[in-house]
A and B are shown apart, each in its own frame.
Chain A
Amino acid sequence: NAGVTQTPKFQVLKTGQSMTLQCAQDMNHEYMSWYRQDPGMGLRLIHYSVGAGITDQGEVPNGYNVSRSTTEDFPLRLLSAAPSQTSVYFCASSLRGGGVSETQYFGPGTRLLVL
């Protein structure tokens, strides 16, 4: 049982490049989410999904796309990277959605630098 895994751990992009941050969980969790963590800002919700085929926007969705074709995977796509997207990205999952007070399990994070 690997929990929540994220790849890559580190990434450097040039402005305008695209990339996909991978997130996978092997706990059969319905709810998955992406956060970005910036100094003094805490974790801000980018997108979330309550199940396969269902996604919704969080607090800061602009510049990011997601899809959820399987229960296990929840990739985050940056279509045209900007320096403002330099951050640490965390993926999390829980058995069900936040409304039923579920514990979130976090991945180890991806550090992204956009030049």
Chain B
Amino acid sequence: AQSVTQLDSHVSVSEGTPVLLRCNYSSSYSPSLFWYVQHPNKGLQLLLKYTSAATLVKGINGFEAEFKKSETSFHLTKPSAHMSDAAEYFCVVSDRDDKIIFGKGTRLHILP
């Protein structure tokens, strides 16, 4: 069965500095991996997804993630944080059995 671990429950960065949100996964097959974002009191929105094409995936709002099979990781990055990036981010894994598993989330705080 697949699983996903988000290594940090909270991350704080200053506005204009890089963002790194870490995610490790476990899957019996070649997984599909996603990052979703949830702004306060809002629903969830897809940021990006990996589907076994390019290992470096670009998403919306300047975010990108790199799939590293050897490290079973799918970390989310952004070169320069903006105040509007403050939100909770979820790493998600799915494989052949149709179950879609969410990580516990990382809350990103942006310091002025």
Could you tell me how many residues of chain A have their Cβ less than 8 Å away from some Cβ of chain B? 27
In chain B, what residue has the closest Cβ to A50?
Answer: B98
CA distance A92 to B99 in the complex (A): 13
B90 touching A108, Cβ below 8 Å: no
CA distance A35 to B44 in the complex (A): 12
A106 touching B43, Cβ below 8 Å: yes
Contact A35-B102, Cβ < 8 Å, known A98-B94, A106-B44: yes
In chain B, what residue has the closest Cβ to A38?
Answer: B104
A98 touching B99, Cβ below 8 Å: yes
User: How many interface residues does chain B have, given as a range?
Assistant: 20 to 34
Checking B49, B52, B97, B105 against A42 with a beta-carbon cut-off of 8 angstroms, the contacting residue is B105
Checking A40, A48, A108 against B104 with a beta-carbon cut-off of 8 angstroms, the contacting residue is A40
Measured between beta carbons, the chain B residues less than 8 angstroms from A33 are 100
B: which residues have CB within 8 A of A?
A: 6, 9, 32, 34, 36, 43-46, 49-52, 90, 92, 94-105
Q: List 23 A-B contacts (CB under 8 A).
A: A40-B9, A40-B104, A41-B104, A42-B102, A42-B105, A45-B101, A45-B102, A56-B98, A90-B43, A98-B32, A98-B95, A98-B99, A98-B100, A99-B95, A99-B97, A101-B94, A103-B46, A103-B49, A104-B44, A104-B46, A106-B43, A106-B44, A109-B43
